[in-house]
Amino acid sequence: MAIDLARYERLGEPSESVNLTPRDHQAQREREALKDAVDRLLEENPPHELTSEQIEKLRAILGRPTPGQELMCWKLRLYCGHLIEQAAHYTHTTVHSAFTGSARCPECGLDPATIVAAEAVGLIGVPQQPPTARKRAIRPTREDLERKVRALEAEVARLRRQ
């Protein structure tokens, strides 16, 4: 199965460290508050035991493991700063549909950890093809722009001397 990775959402540059924004901090606080509320609800109202019939129905639904060639591997940069790889079904083309915007960090245990950068890297178990050129422009950093300005100013000065 050939997959066009350009169809998949890309969120920042997961391979690079990320400067967290106020929006990232807010999203993390909201996810933690939601998890705490769910935990309190479960303490107050513990789930009932499943019947053997319900267990069998769940086995029928969840019994077949998803083949690797149907799983897209994603590189995720988490709120805690750790970089992980995680799989989701290939039909999920956005970070939110694949992971609901957060994941558990296996390195430090932060759960939930907001996903602050992500990219799909390819199907599991399928040889990777060279990545296709992405249509989106990468915004230069302030440092990149300042370096370019200095180089252009030096070029202007050189031309004036001639």
- Please answer whether residues 118 and 67 qualify as being in contact, where contact means their C-beta atoms are separated by less than 8 angstroms: no
In a domain? residue 28: yes
In a domain? residue 156: no
In a domain? residue 30: yes
Counting Cβ atoms within 10 Å, is residue 94 exposed (0-12), middle (13-18) or buried (19+)? middle
- Listed residue (68, 85, 84) closest to 123, CA to CA: 68
Quote the pLDDT of residue 32: 96
In a domain? residue 146: no
In a domain? residue 93: yes
In a domain? residue 119: yes
Q: In order along the chain (162 residues), what is the average pLDDT of each group of 10 residues?
A: 88 91 96 96 91 91 86 96 96 96 95 96 75 57 85 89 86
Quote the pLDDT of residue 138: 66
In a domain? residue 145: no
Structural domain boundaries, residue 99:
5-129
Domain count, the chain: 1
Quote the pLDDT of residue 136: 52
Q: Is the pTM of this model over 0.85?
A: no
Quote the pLDDT of residue 52: 93
Give exposure, 106-117, as e/b (b: 16+ Cβ within 10 Å): eeeebebbbbbb
Quote the pLDDT of residue 31: 96
In a domain? residue 9: yes
